[in-house]
Amino acid sequence: MAALSVQPLKRKRNENADKIETPSTEEQEAGVSTGNSAAARLPFSGFRVQKVLKESARDKILFLHGKVNEAPGEMNGEDAVVILEKTPFQVEQMAQLLSGSPELQLQFSNDIYSTYHLFPPRQLSDVKTTVVYPATEKHLQKYLRQELQLFRETEEDYRTITLPYLQCQSLSIQWVYNILEKKSEADRIIFENPDPSHGFILIPDLKWNQQQLDDLYLIAICHRRDVRSLRDLTSEHLPLLRNILLEGQEAILQRYQLKGSCLRVYLHYLPSYFHLHVHFTALGFEAPGSAVERAHLLADVIENLECDSKYYQHRSLPIALRTDDPLFQLFQGGKKG
């Protein structure tokens, strides 16, 4: 029986069609877990599967939509999304397991090759379990696998299509303010520069279990609240961006002994939530959202702004949109021909 590591939803990530992405430092609601490992219970009773929203055998992850809190004999429950993900292997634990007497079932044997089912003890078989409850229709659509299409967003497109669309959306980023105000996850903060204009908080992304460096993943969230995305950046923000790059790399070096040359430091565009944040991942880790159509290296962003203060106001930027996204419909209508 797998041990459930219950983590209420705190993160939000869009994904490309080839890479399934788990929630991370992006869609956190008020009052969520502060990151401790105490025993917990699911925030609902029962779970009747409605639909498999998405799955990946390669990434060992499953997204389920279910009905919960149903009265006996009735089918009137609330919606919830549960995301089940096999946690990464830890070499030391696996070596200890194999050197003992593991429970095995032989599946195949031929000459020097053999395949088994290995049943690890409870402490080595946990499944990271992320809960979205109560889930809205937006959440259900968000996690449903959909086709992606690529557009080039011009300066005019941003002003007349993207920005008006974003301004009418109601998705809360209160969870971001909870972190910045230390109302939530204060014990998970790796580093903070408290300056209100040029400072930020560095915190592990929930994709990373902090047990190995191969998939290191941290997020830098800036303190100032008037910068939504790459499109808002000008040369005015260079001190902030340089602080995030240099102080973030130094904090990771001090904490994890991983040099800046071993890190990928980048911003997403479009981001999944509109409060400026920067991703720090291990260079060898193929992190969701690190593809060229979405990731912009922070060092390049800094250099571009040094050359042209309004570089990101004027240039066209690629955006990958899901076909069920209302923004896709707006771009498809505006980009015909």
301, HSE (Cβ side, Cα atoms, 13 Å): 28
Asked whether 194 and 247 are in contact (CB, 8 A), the reply is no
Over residues 174-209, the pLDDT tens digits come to 989 999 999 999 999 999 999 999 999 999 998 888
Enumerate the active-site residues.
Answer: 277
> What local confidence, expressed as pLDDT, does residue 93 receive?
81
Closest CA to 123 of 6, 206, 42, 2: 2
- Per cent of the chain over pLDDT 90 is 47
pTM: 0.67
Cβ neighbours, 10 Å, residue 136: 12
Three-state DSSP at 4 gives strand
pLDDT tens for 278-327 read 999 999 998 888 989 999 999 999 999 999 999 999 999 999 998 878 89
pLDDT mean over 39-65 = 86
Q: What average pLDDT is seen over the chain?
A: 84
Bridge partners, 103 (sequence order): 119
**pLDDT for res 35:** 47
Q: What is the DSSP string of 22-68?
A: ---SS-PPTT---S-------SSS--EEEEEEEEETTTTEEEEEEEE
pLDDT given for residue 156 in this prediction: 95
Residue 129, SS3 per DSSP: strand
